[in-house]
Amino acid sequence: MGDVRATGYGAIEPGTDLSRHARDLVRMHDALIGGGRSPIRPRAVVQRSWARVLQSGLAPDGTNARALLAVDEIERRRRRSALADVIVDLDQVISAVADASHLLMVVTDEDGVILWRSGSARVRARADSLGFREGATWTEDVVGTNAIGTAIAEGSPVQLFSGEHFEQTQHPWYCTAAPVHDPRTGELLGVVDVSGPALTLHPTVTALVETAVRLAQAQLWRHHESRLERLRLTAAPMLASSTGPILLVDDNGWVAHASGVAATKRVAAPRDDRTLTVPGLGPCSPERVAGGWVIRPHDQGARIEMRLDLSGSPVVVVSGADNSWRAPLSGRHAEILLLLHRAGPRGLSVADLSSGLYGDPDHAVAIRAEISRLRRILGSVIDGRPYRLAESVHLDVDLGDTDLLAECAFVRRSTSPAVRALACD
């Protein structure tokens, strides 16, 4: 059986007969999706996507429901998206070639919702009939295999041509999409996609999309540096008159200035109702300033008292020097806190936590992601290398009506091998 191959993630190679290739792919699609055989097989990325889509129960005939978000919801998502800062730059990348090349650029958020669209007016009109417009969700579970949804699912750039799409109504199209990540954190911000009539696809389209993504990420970094510089200038008089350790951070915890504390790039996002734990400073009080926060340590020796309540749905109660608050936790986050509490100062490595939570050491990425989410909820109460509770944090565990882990419902229901093992200690 033959294989449909291309260079890199591109769907075609230079010199490809597009009409013939499209006919071959459509015949392959109809045969394989219909449960039959084909003399050629799809590329690996297409095969994986088709398998996911078939499990979701979507129909290949293009009758899958399309729903558009309301205009006010689209505007809300645009305001929230970091890509709003670079959309003008992205437009400029394709504006000079859009009409002549019969292409369309769309930019989505991290959920695959199309927020911006620009390019050839003729192609935009054709895209409307597909529901390929602002406010539509183009994930695999909604519209089947497509470059946007598959790029999100695969976490990498994807180009699809004609019959590689799951829905037959998308077969007259090509699409090329690449994720855009926050250059500071690696977090997915959205997807840039260039699409057009299938028979107009040129091998250089992949380079066009790559250029757009690199430009977006470079501009996002420049915007970040500019915001921190404006914050430093605004706070300069106050910083000049301050004594003792101090941090100046933006609303997301990115450090604009540090004095009297080891350099760090980011701390937990400050909130005016919560004590903040900062490595090297211990418990701190955030104070609002124009455009950001000033963070100063409490008195030397101050501690943060935390109580992990497992008597019902997991809750953590935190008491600082001058305030207290509580936050619900997921079961996984409660398991992490419980295991770190039991480990004490020696802490647990990434592999230790992976084995304790999943039964093997192969889930390092998931562990780091969960720790990052937990820090966003609680602040920097967990030190790293190895993971352990910060020295300034004292944690008690409330098991409810029992003092025995073996009788705690949360422990008995846990899917974590290490948490279940605590019942046997």
The CATH number given to 2-221 is 3.30.450.40
pLDDT band at 263 (very low <50, low <70, confident <90, very high): low
Cross-strand bridge partners of residue 108: 114, 191
Q: For 275-305, b where at least 16 C-beta lie within 10 A, e where not — what string? A: bbbbbebbbbbbeeeebbbbbbbbeeebbbe
Cβ–Cβ < 8 Å for 257, 233: no
Residue 176 pLDDT greater than 90, yes or no:
yes
pLDDT tens digits, 193-209? 999 999 999 999 999 99
pLDDT for position 1: 39
Residue 125 pLDDT greater than 60, yes or no:
yes
Residue 380 pLDDT greater than 80, yes or no:
no
Beta strands in 280-418, from DSSP E residues, in sequence order: 282-289, 292-297, 304-309, 315-319, 324-328, 382-383, 388-389, 393-398
Residue 253 pLDDT greater than 60, yes or no:
yes
Which sign does the torsion angle of CA 337, 338, 339, 343 carry?
Answer: positive
Q: Phi, psi at residue 273, to the nearest 5°?
A: -105, 10
**Angle (deg, nearest 10), helices 205-240 and 87-95:** 150
330: its two tokens:
């997921």
Residue 2 pLDDT greater than 70, yes or no:
no
Write down the architecture of domain 304-422 according to CATH: Orthogonal Bundle (1.10)
pLDDT tens digits, 58-94? 999 878 888 899 999 999 999 999 999 999 999 888 8
pLDDT for position 7: 55
Domain ranges of the chain: 2-221, 243-297, 304-422
Residues with Cβ < 8 Å from 399, sequence gap 6 or more? 310, 311, 405, 407, 408
Cβ–Cβ < 8 Å for 228, 292: no
pLDDT for position 69: 96
pLDDT for position 92: 87
pLDDT band at 373 (very low <50, low <70, confident <90, very high): confident
pLDDT for position 341: 93
pLDDT for position 248: 93
- How many CA atoms lie within 13 Å of 166's alpha carbon, on the beta-carbon side? 31
Give the integer Cα–Cα distance in Å for 348 and 389. Answer: 10
pLDDT tens digits, 345-359? 999 999 999 999 999
Comparison of pLDDT for 269 and 117, the residue scoring more: 117
Residue 240 pLDDT greater than 50, yes or no:
yes
What is the residue whose two structure tokens read 């946007």?
A: 148
Provide the CA 287 distance to its chain's centre, in angstroms. Answer: 29
Which stretch, 213-227, 231-245, 283-297, 388-402, has highest mean pLDDT? 213-227
pLDDT for position 322: 55
3-class DSSP state for residue 248?
A: strand
Least confident of 179-188, 290-299, 322-331, 365-374: 322-331
pLDDT tens digits, 319-332? 765 557 788 999 99
pLDDT band at 383 (very low <50, low <70, confident <90, very high): confident
pLDDT for position 4: 52
